[in-house]
Amino acid sequence: MKVHDFAWQVCERTMELLEQHQHYKIADAHRKEVHATILKEVDTIIKKASEPKKDKK
């Protein structure tokens, strides 16, 4: 599975959970916008997650 496919599935599942457990209603247009944003940002998200953690003191 490609990373972008995985990101798509995580995004979709998150929206499903919001609808099921928080009673959100996400319009199709908004759903498409969120998917597009996640796919556009997935490389940046991975890079940020790969950075060494900074200690907070």
Over the stretch 35-57, which tens digit does the pLDDT of each residue have?
999 999 999 999 999 988 877 66
* Model pLDDT, residue 44: 95
pTM of the model: 0.74
Distance CA 16, CA 37 (A): 17
In a domain, 57, yes or no: no
Residue 15: both structure tokens together = 């929206």
55 within some domain: no
19 within a domain of the structure (yes/no): yes
Q: By percentage, how much of the chain surpasses pLDDT 90?
A: 81
Which two three-digit tokens encode residue 7?
């990101």
Is 40 among the domain residues? yes
CA atoms within 13 A on the CB side of 1: 8
Tokens matching residue 48: 């940020």
How many other CB atoms sit within 10 Å of the CB of residue 57? Answer: 3
Boundaries of domain holding 10: 3-48
- For residue 46, give both structure tokens: 């991975």
* CA distance linking residue 46 with residue 12, whole number of Å: 18
Q: Is residue 8 part of a domain?
A: yes
The total number of structural domains in the chain stands at: 1
